[in-house]
Amino acid sequence: MMNQNATMAKRKQLLDFIDKVSFAVNDITLYLDTHPKDKDAIDYFNHYKELRLKAMKEYEKLYGPLMVDFANPDDVFTWALMPAPWEGGMC
C-alpha cells in the first residue's frame, strides 16, 4: 500500500509539473503572437517547451501516454486498457 501511495504521489507531482510548464508554454505563445521577434521570449518558450516534452516523455515511460500524439503506433489504443479515473487510474 505504501509503495502504491508513493507511486500515485510521484504521478501526481509529475502531472502537476506538466500542467505548470504547459501553462508557461501556452502563455508565452500568446505573447509571441504579438511580439514575434522578442529574443528573450523565444528563449523562454524554447526552454519551457523542452521541459514539457521531457516531462511528458517521462510520464509516458512510467504511466502511458497522456495524448495520442505520443502513443506508439504499434499500440496506440492500449491506453484504453488502463484503469479509468473512477477505477483508481489518474488522468
For 23, 32, 53, the CA distances from 16, given in Å and listed in that order, are 11, 24, 14
Range of the domain at 21: 2-87
Per-residue pLDDT of 26-52, as tens digits, reads 999 999 999 999 999 999 999 999 999
Query: Which pLDDT belongs to residue 77?
Result: 63
Give 72's contacts (C-beta < 8 A, 6+ positions apart).
65
List, for residues 78-90, the tens digit of each pLDDT value. Answer: 666 777 767 766 6
What is the distance of C-alpha 83 from the center of its chain? 18
Structural domain count, the chain: 1
Looking at every residue in the chain, the average pLDDT score rounds to 85
pLDDT band at 66 (very low <50, low <70, confident <90, very high): confident
Contact 90, 15 (CB under 8 A): yes
C-alpha cell read off for 52: 514539457
Note the pLDDT of residue 71: 66
